[in-house]
Structure formats: C-alpha cells, structure tokens
A and B are shown apart, each in its own frame.
Chain A
Amino acid sequence: MEFETEKIIEAAQCAINRAKTAGVDGVYVNGNLNKVYSTRFANSAIHQNFTNIGNNLMITVVNGLKNTNVTINTLDEAEIARSVDYAVKVVKLLPDDPTFPGLLTDKQDYKKLNLNDPKIKNLTADDVADKIVAGINTGHEYSKKVQTVSGNLNFADGVSIFISSEGLDNVTADTSMTSTINIMSEDDSGESRSNSDFGHRKFDQLPIETEAAAVAERSVNGLNAIMIDPKAYPAVLDFQAAATPAIFTGFALSAQSILDHQSYLIDRVGEQVFSENMSIVNDPHDPHFLSSKPMDIDGVASQKYTLVNKGVIESYAHNRLTASRMGTYSNGCSMQMWGETFSFPYAMKMKPGNKTREQLISEIDKGLLITNFHYSNFVDPTRGVLTGMTKDGLFIIENGEIVGSARNMRYTDGIIDMLSNAEFSKEVIQAVPWSMGMEVPAIKIDSINFSSGTTH
C-alpha cells in the first residue's frame, strides 16, 4: 500500500502532545488510514469504479467531567494543532457533566487479532474487475432467463489506531470486503429478482461466483409469481431476511436507545422476552467476522458477552457514558453512528439451532419462505413494531415444500411477536446488514403479519 502506518501514529502523537501542553486532563485519538477499491455494476456492466486513499483522526479532549472531539482527515501538523486548540477552547467552556466517566486509565487487554489479508498488498483495480466479471458471467451462465447482474464490491485495507495520553495504545491492520449480487430474470410471466449481501476478509476467498450462482437460481425460481392475500402467515426467514429483526433487536439492546426511551426492551433485563431457542452473543474476537476488532472508540477492550440467553435479556450494549449513566460497566460497544457516539452490539451472533433450514421449511404446512426484506423501519421503536417490504424472492410453502413464488408484500408486525416462538437453523451465514458483520441462522416463525401487497 502507498502509505505508512508510522505517519498516522506520529500525527496522533502530535495531537496528544499539543493537548497536553494546553493544560487539559487528557486526550485520546482514534485514527484510520486505508486504501479502498469500490466498484458498482448494473445491467451486467461496471458503471461506477473508484479507488481512494483516505484517513481520519478523531481527537477527543477530556478536562474534568467533560469532553469534546474534533475529526480531521489530514496528517498536517499545523492543522492538527489548530484543531486541538479549538477542542481545548471548547472543552474549557463546557459545564461539568456529573455523569461523565472521566478519562479511561485502567489497563486494557487488547486482543491480538489477525484481521488483515497479507496476500493483497499488490491488489489492483484489474484484480477487482476480474472478480466482478467472473460473478457477472456466472450469473448469466446459469440460465438464459437471467437478464441483468448488478452488485458491488467494496474493498478496504489499512490500519486502525487508538492512542491515549494515559499510555493506552493499539494498532490493528484490517482488511475487509463487502459485496452484493442482485440478479434479474425475466420470461413471459414478468421479471423476478434475487439478492445476496456477503463479505470476507480474504480477497481470494470472497465467494462472488458461488453467490452469483445461488442468486441466479433463486431469481429464476422466483418467476411466475402470483398475488396472494396480505394477512398473517407462518414463515421461514431465510438467512438474509433473518438479519432484519436481528439488527433492529440490536438497536433495542443499545443502552443509548434505553436511555433515550426509544427501545422496546426498557427495564427488561432478566425477563423472558423471546423464544427460549433464541440466544445472541456479541463476539468481536472471531478473526473471520467482519465486525471483529480489539477495542471500541472509547479505547475499551472489546468483549465477548451474552445479550440474550435462551430468550432472556441478559445485557445491554454499553459504552463508557451509557454505563456511567446506568451505574454499570462498559462492555466495549462504543462506535460512531450518524455522527454521534452510540452504543451498539456491533458483533452479534445468533446461536444456531438443531434443525437444518430444509427441515424448518418442511415443518410448515402453508406459509412463506422470505428471502429478503427491503426498507424496514420501526413504526414504533418503543413497542418494537416494524414495517418493511419483502424483496428479491418470496416463496410459497405448501405441505413443507416450496411450490411457487408470490408477489411482494408489506409486513407490519412486532419483533417480539415474531420471535416469541422462533426456531433457528443449524446453518449460519455472515450477513452484512449496514456493512456490519452479523452471524444469523434461518428463522422459522409462527406468524408474520402482512398489511398490504404489490403487483411486483
């Protein structure tokens, strides 16, 4: 790669030295430097293609019971100095926050994680294009009914750092790739789409051709879709679809959502809320997992811990501030989201069950296999009511077998109702909702309520 880790470490150190001389209690710096290849394709051709060398330094200045941060994307010493001076000036103007936990001084046990792909040092735009061409060709080779292959491949390789005035430091090399394949098939009955979002840390193992073949098959199988009544159906949420209730459960488990009164899981720790088959851990130490990292942005060592155990809520996801406000300890879940420091269980793994996905399907007399959801949102986060559309494959199950496909419908239903009697497949995949790694099985649910339909 065309950059040096030392430069960003020096820049961070420069910020720390500047803040120290300005007489504040302490300072810490989160930084990253990376090279990106990002390619989008549509209508079976590449249409957006770029490479970027980017960096980012977030400098947090702490003084008494208050803090502020500045974010810059330069390694220029003069600009770093100006930014630190601004932060120092602002932090001195702020009133004390008695709930602020102060500087992190405890020694941290940062796990050494092998998160990078050493083989991609000389990766080129040609290599990325070749991979995409292979995916596009695989999609078309599956069937003449395949009309267009679309998708994207986003590759990033670089380094993340955390350095504090209190002597905490960590440098982690990191490679990650996320990709999407979306295939449209068409025949006399109309068109059908299917989709897969996936990711990997090793470029040569990114399964773009395998996924393209599977997506092409689902897309062709989705042809001849019929309209069915929007009402409640038993269903199997296939792997990609399962990530939707999972990620919205993640938001509800955020201690920040609890404090904001924007969660359906307020005051429910210790309570049986979901099916006893449902367990979720936050596991940021699995090197294959795209969400893995040794620390959060507060500098707290990442931790493996249980969020939901056999349907019982065991913990919320905390950063240092939410933990202080709720009288507990941070479990290392501080991250930047929507420009704000937020607590989120960013490395969720749902525990697999004992039955195969096919067995779960076979147990449904009359119901649906839902491949994917689109544009899901809380209707009311305080009651856990979600709405969204099915997308990219809605299949009809009769007597335990898939007998055809259906046109898309809108669901409006509560997450707790959906997952209260759920069963989980023994197979899991790494889904990448919102570009975050999440391990999910397929989920069989007793009922999902559809409130309206569409003609496609």
Chain B
Amino acid sequence: MEEFLDKVMNEVEKYDVSFAEARIYDLTDENILVRNGQIDRATKNSDRGLNVSVIKDGARGFAMSYNFDNIPQLVENAVKVAKASVKKKRKDVELTDEPVIVDTYKTDFKIDTFEVPFEEKLELLLLSDSIMRENPQIKVAQSIIDTRRVKLHFSNTEGTRINQEQLYTGASVDATAVGTEIQKRSHHDYQMRGFEFVKEFNFEIESKKAADEALSLINEAKNLEKGKTTLVLDPYMLGLTIHESTGHPTELDRAMGFEADFAGTSFLTPDLLGKDYRYGSDLVNLVCDPTIPDHLGHYKYDDEGVAAKRFNIVEDGIFKNYMNDRETARDNGYEHSFGNSRMSLYDRIPIVRMSHLYLEPDATGPKNFEEFIADIPDGIYAKGWKSHSIDDKRMNFQFSTEIAWKIENGELSTPIKNLTYNDATPRFWGSLDMIGRENHILGLGPTCGKGVPMQAIWISHGGGWARFNDVNVFSG
C-alpha cells in the first residue's frame, strides 16, 4: 500500500502546494447476530480507499476514491477543491509543527478473531440465545459478536510515514422481557483485542444476568417518585455521562463553532482556556489517554500522524485542555497537537474525536462496590444505558438507565425501572464527592456520531464507581 502513498507524494510535487497528506483506510469487519434462535445477520464488509489532502493558497482540499489506479486525477481533484475553498476561507490554514515519524505499529492480541471458525462463534451465540430464552417472558433475545480490522497507512510531505493495524472485538447480549410492560437489559463491551476477549466476556454468564435483570424489571421493579437523590453511577453510565458532558464540549473544533451546522457548539468556549474555569469538584480528574493498549479508544498515532498522548481535560476540578488537531491547536496557542484527529472511513475528513476518556479513580477511595455503598444511607445505584439527550451547548442533559436499585442503609434493595436523571453539566460534576479505587473501562461500539457526513467512531470510557449528590431523578 505504501507505494500508492509514494505516488501521491510524487504527484503533489507538480503543484504549488504548501502541504499534503495521504491516507489509506482499509477496513474489514464481520458481524454475526443471533436473534430468537435465528441467524439474523452474518455479514462481512470491506471498505478500502485513498484519501488525499492538500493545502493550496492557504486553503485545504480533500479528494478520495476507492480507485487506486488514477492518482494524478485524485491529486488534481484535491487541488481543485482547495482552490474552491479559497473563495471563502477564514484565514490561511496553519498547522502545529510536529516531529517526523517513521513507524509501523500493530495492536496486540492473542487470538485473531477473524481466524476463529465461524461455527465456534455461532455456537457461542446460539448458547447465549437459548439461555436468555429459557423463561418464556423473554420475548426477544439478541447475541452479537463483532470483529473489525483496520489498516491505516499515512504519509505527508514533511516525511512522516506510518503504518498501523488495529483489531477490535466486541460482544453483546440483550434480553427483552414482556409482561404487563416491556423492559430490556443489555450488556456489551468492545476491546482492541482478539477472541480472548470474547472468552473473558463469558456469554453464558452475561446472557443469564441480562435475562434475570430484564425479568426483575417487569416482575419486581418499582417506579420512582420525582425528587433529588444521591446517585451512584456504574462505570458504563459514568462513561456515557463523561462522553456527552465532558467529551463533546471539549472537542476544540466544536468549541470553535465548526459543528454548529449539526451537533451544536459548547458552553466551554475557547476564551475559557487557561482561565481556571471550575468544571467540577476537586475530585474530578478527567483524562484522555489513547496510549493505553487493549482499550477500544487506543491508537499510537492519530490520522494526522501525530503521536497519541495522555493529558488532563479536567484536573482537580479545573478545565485544563481541549482535545485538538494540528489546525485547531495552532489556532489556540498550543505548541503541539494532542493527537486527536480521527476519521471513520476513507471517504471522511479527519476531525477532532474522542478516543479513550475516563474519570481517574481515587487511589484512596473505597476498594470495592460493597465498600463504596456501605456508608450511603439513602440513594440510587444506576446501571446500563437506555436513553440519552443533551442540549446543543452540552449543558442540560437527561439520561435514562435500564435498571437501578435503591440503596438503603449501605445495601442495594428494591430494583427501580425507568430511572431518568437530569442536570446541568458543571453542577453535576461539582456534586461528585466519592470515586472508587477500581478502574472499569468499557468500549462503546460505534456509538459516537459526529460530523457531516456522519462519522461513527469507536471509543472507550469509564472509571471507578462515582457518587453525585442532589441529582434530579424521576421515572421517565
């Protein structure tokens, strides 16, 4: 593949461009879904193409194609698009200076999920399906194994040449129980690993748990009176809350207004950078770290060829940094990019994206869940994403969970259904007063959408169990 990138680099020399990049994005995925005993999806998808970008007369143009045979035409198209962009440019595009990198990197795995016989995966999914449907009140059972391999090749006119390969594996179960009402429980996790992850996920245990909790929701769970409560979030709901209320508002392109036509803007406007804006309580340390292997948001280099870095978005409750790319970083006084530029497919433009973003555990916090809730006389423990919505500045949010339990005198008691919590971002994070010591990270399959055209990207979030106070709750 590198020969195609070399051809692009040679071809751009014919034009008076100040900078050029070329990428090959080569995706293969396999998805198997068993629903109520039937194989409702057994698909394989491959999507490969070439993506060229140039800066010409201070403006940027991209051209992409599935066809690798006509590179001169592709480069010419990119130059034409850049020239068209000159007609209404904000200012000349400037990029941060970054080190030249030449490297090849492959994520680690023990068992290549693509090499595991199809029959073996099918057997696991059918077993999971039958476990969930043992009780006739479970009317819909779904079990999924997802596998995804991405090969990325990058080159730019500064001399950077990078080859990266990533293997993602995901497992998912959900059970829908039908009685006088309908309730669903699901569990899914994705990691940048091989089939060893599916074995650890343990379909037998997870499918039984999903079915039991779905049945408890229709047979035992109560609705909740509207009010304020002490709310304990499990790492998955914590992850969703981080994603929506921390991740999106701290994407620098969004804060600069570049997402105004679709997802909105941010209450964390660029003038707040370096002003010690209080985002949450002193305990809040929100960290972006794509360098950690195995997590779904892991990469060694972003799609501008910049090395991934660990950095605090919020430190001791104070807003410290945005996620950025070479252009937005330069525009806002950063010396270097943090390396957050990502694209979801070859025919998309890399933009500022989340990767692995989590709430740092408290090293002095409770050691386990039992200890975490032991001193809570009255509260709610909420688990499992059901619904989410947040305003266009990422301030007012409302999330619903699949299941919750009352906490009474330090122990879980009655299951709660339809729990919905609503708050304003800084008030909510300001109310955080306890974080667990354990760090639980979960991968969200392609659930983060951003950009026009839409780019769905894979990320991981989580942290320890976290306790928030005086949160508005009701049965949604």
Interface residues of A (CB under 8 A from B): 2, 36, 38-55, 66, 68-74, 79, 83, 86-87, 89-91, 93-95, 97, 99-100, 124-126, 128-130, 132-133, 136, 148, 150-152, 154, 180-182, 184, 193, 195, 259-262, 321, 339-341, 374-380, 382, 385, 387-389, 391, 408, 410, 412, 451-456
CB within 8 Å of A: which B164-217 residues: 176, 178, 181-182, 184
> Is A452 a contact of B396 with CB atoms below 8 Å?
yes
> Is B42 a contact of A2 with CB atoms below 8 Å?
no
Q: 5 closest Cβ contacts across the A-B interface?
A: A50-B62, A45-B90, A125-B84, A129-B84, A379-B476
Say how far A98's CB is from chain B's closest CB, in angstroms: 9
> Is B389 a contact of A410 with CB atoms below 8 Å?
yes
CB 8 Å contact bits of B124-156 with A (1 = contact, 0 = none) = 000000000000000110000000000000000
> Is B176 a contact of A377 with CB atoms below 8 Å?
no
Evaluate whether A180 and B262 lie within 8 angstroms (CB atoms) in the complex, with A51-B63, A261-B182, A410-B422 already known: yes
CB within 8 Å of A: which B13-48 residues: 31, 33, 38-48
CB 8 Å contact bits of B374-399 with A (1 = contact, 0 = none) = 00000000000011111111011010
Chain A residue numbers with a CB within 8 Å of B81 are 49-51, 125
CB within 8 Å of A: which B58-104 residues: 59-67, 73, 77, 80-85, 87-90
Q: Is B288 an interface residue (CB 8 A)?
A: no
Say how far B41's CB is from chain A's closest CB, in angstroms: 6
Chain B residue numbers with a CB within 8 Å of A86 are 44
Q: Is B122 an interface residue (CB 8 A)?
A: yes
> Is B85 a contact of A339 with CB atoms below 8 Å?
no
Which B residue's beta carbon lies closest to that of A99? B38
Evaluate whether A452 and B422 lie within 8 angstroms (CB atoms) in the complex, with A93-B122, A377-B388, A410-B396 already known: yes
Q: Is B119 an interface residue (CB 8 A)?
A: yes
Q: Tell me which of B45, B80, B87 contacts A71 (CB under 8 A).
A: B45
Chain A residue numbers with a CB within 8 Å of B349 are 48, 50
> Is A126 a contact of B84 with CB atoms below 8 Å?
yes
Q: Is B294 an interface residue (CB 8 A)?
A: no
> Is A49 a contact of B257 with CB atoms below 8 Å?
no
A193 to B389 Cα, complex, angstroms: 19
CB 8 Å contact bits of B246-281 with A (1 = contact, 0 = none) = 000000000011111110100100000000000000
A94 to B261 Cα, complex, angstroms: 45
A452 to B228 Cα, complex, angstroms: 14
A43 to B82 Cα, complex, angstroms: 18
Chain B residue numbers with a CB within 8 Å of A87 are 44
Evaluate whether A43 and B387 lie within 8 angstroms (CB atoms) in the complex, with A36-B347, A180-B262, A410-B396 already known: no
> Is B181 a contact of A382 with CB atoms below 8 Å?
yes
Q: Tell me which of A42, A93, A410 contacts B257 (CB under 8 A).
A: A42
> Is B59 a contact of A46 with CB atoms below 8 Å?
yes
> Is B89 a contact of A46 with CB atoms below 8 Å?
yes
19 contacts between A and B (CB under 8 A): A38-B452, A43-B256, A45-B90, A49-B61, A49-B84, A50-B63, A52-B65, A52-B347, A54-B64, A72-B46, A79-B46, A87-B44, A91-B42, A94-B122, A125-B61, A125-B84, A129-B88, A261-B178, A389-B389
Evaluate whether A412 and B398 lie within 8 angstroms (CB atoms) in the complex, with A68-B42, A150-B261 already known: yes
CB 8 Å contact bits of B454-476 with A (1 = contact, 0 = none) = 00000000000000000010101
Chain B residue numbers with a CB within 8 Å of A95 are 39
Which B residue's beta carbon lies closest to that of A191? B265
Which B residue's beta carbon lies closest to that of A50? B62
> Is A339 a contact of B476 with CB atoms below 8 Å?
no
Q: Is B420 an interface residue (CB 8 A)?
A: yes
> Is A94 a contact of B33 with CB atoms below 8 Å?
no
Say how far A207's CB is from chain B's closest CB, in angstroms: 17
> Is A40 a contact of B39 with CB atoms below 8 Å?
no
Q: Is B418 an interface residue (CB 8 A)?
A: yes
Chain B residue numbers with a CB within 8 Å of A97 are 38-39
Q: Given contacts A93-B119, A379-B387, could you give 14 more A-B pairs where the C-beta distance is less than 8 Å?
A: A46-B87, A51-B80, A72-B46, A93-B118, A95-B39, A124-B80, A124-B84, A129-B87, A261-B140, A261-B182, A379-B420, A389-B389, A389-B396, A451-B474
A100 to B40 Cα, complex, angstroms: 10
Chain B residue numbers with a CB within 8 Å of A55 are 66
Q: Is B400 an interface residue (CB 8 A)?
A: yes
Chain B residue numbers with a CB within 8 Å of A130 are 87
> Is B393 a contact of A456 with CB atoms below 8 Å?
yes
> Is A83 a contact of B391 with CB atoms below 8 Å?
no
> Is A70 a contact of B66 with CB atoms below 8 Å?
no
> Is A47 a contact of B49 with CB atoms below 8 Å?
no
Most buried by B among A47, A79, A451: A47
Chain A residue numbers with a CB within 8 Å of B83 are 125-126
Evaluate whether A180 and B452 lie within 8 angstroms (CB atoms) in the complex, with A375-B391, A456-B395 already known: yes
Chain A residue numbers with a CB within 8 Å of B422 are 410, 451-452
Q: Tell me which of A69, A184, A377 contacts B389 (CB under 8 A).
A: A377
Which A residue's beta carbon lies closest to that of B258? A42
Say how far B360's CB is from chain A's closest CB, in angstroms: 28
Which B residue's beta carbon lies closest to that of A391? B392
Q: Tell me which of B31, B261, B390, B396 contacts A151 (CB under 8 A).
A: B261
Q: Is B333 an interface residue (CB 8 A)?
A: no
Which A residue's beta carbon lies closest to that of B347? A52
Q: Is B453 an interface residue (CB 8 A)?
A: yes
Which A residue's beta carbon lies closest to that of B476? A379
Chain B residue numbers with a CB within 8 Å of A181 are 261
Which A residue's beta carbon lies closest to that of B43? A69
Which B residue's beta carbon lies closest to that of A124? B80
> Is B88 a contact of A388 with CB atoms below 8 Å?
no
Say how far A403's CB is from chain B's closest CB, in angstroms: 24
A45 to B395 Cα, complex, angstroms: 27
A125 to B61 Cα, complex, angstroms: 10
Chain A residue numbers with a CB within 8 Å of B260 are 42, 148, 150, 182, 184, 193
> Is B176 a contact of A70 with CB atoms below 8 Å?
no
Chain B residue numbers with a CB within 8 Å of A2 are 73
Chain B residue numbers with a CB within 8 Å of A91 are 42
Evaluate whether A387 and B90 lie within 8 angstroms (CB atoms) in the complex, with A68-B43, A128-B84 already known: no
> Is B88 a contact of A44 with CB atoms below 8 Å?
yes
CB within 8 Å of A: which B272-296 residues: none
Q: Tell me which of B87, B257, B474 contacts A150 (CB under 8 A).
A: B257
A177 to B420 Cα, complex, angstroms: 38
> Is B84 a contact of A50 with CB atoms below 8 Å?
no
A45 to B58 Cα, complex, angstroms: 13
Most buried by A among B44, B48, B176, B256: B44
Chain A residue numbers with a CB within 8 Å of B472 are 452
Q: Tell me which of A90, A455, A456 contacts B118 (CB under 8 A).
A: A90
Most buried by B among A38, A46, A136, A154: A46
Evaluate whether A261 and B176 lie within 8 angstroms (CB atoms) in the complex, with A47-B90, A86-B44, A182-B260 already known: yes
> Is B262 a contact of A152 with CB atoms below 8 Å?
yes
Q: Tell me which of A54, A180, A259 contacts B49 (CB under 8 A).
A: A54
> Is A152 a contact of B418 with CB atoms below 8 Å?
no
> Is A71 a contact of B60 with CB atoms below 8 Å?
no
> Is B264 a contact of A391 with CB atoms below 8 Å?
yes
Evaluate whether A53 and B140 lie within 8 angstroms (CB atoms) in the complex, with A379-B420, A452-B472 already known: no
Which A residue's beta carbon lies closest to that of B349? A48
> Is B387 a contact of A377 with CB atoms below 8 Å?
yes
Chain B residue numbers with a CB within 8 Å of A44 are 88, 90
Most buried by A among B40, B73, B389, B396: B389
A49 to B90 Cα, complex, angstroms: 13
Say how far A176's CB is from chain B's closest CB, in angstroms: 12
Which B residue's beta carbon lies closest to that of A3? B67
Chain B residue numbers with a CB within 8 Å of A182 are 260-261
A47 to B89 Cα, complex, angstroms: 7
Say how far B43's CB is from chain A's closest CB, in angstroms: 5
Chain B residue numbers with a CB within 8 Å of A148 are 257, 260
A375 to B449 Cα, complex, angstroms: 12
Say how far A128's CB is from chain B's closest CB, in angstroms: 7
> Is B452 a contact of A40 with CB atoms below 8 Å?
yes
Say how far A386's CB is from chain B's closest CB, in angstroms: 9
> Is A180 a contact of B389 with CB atoms below 8 Å?
no
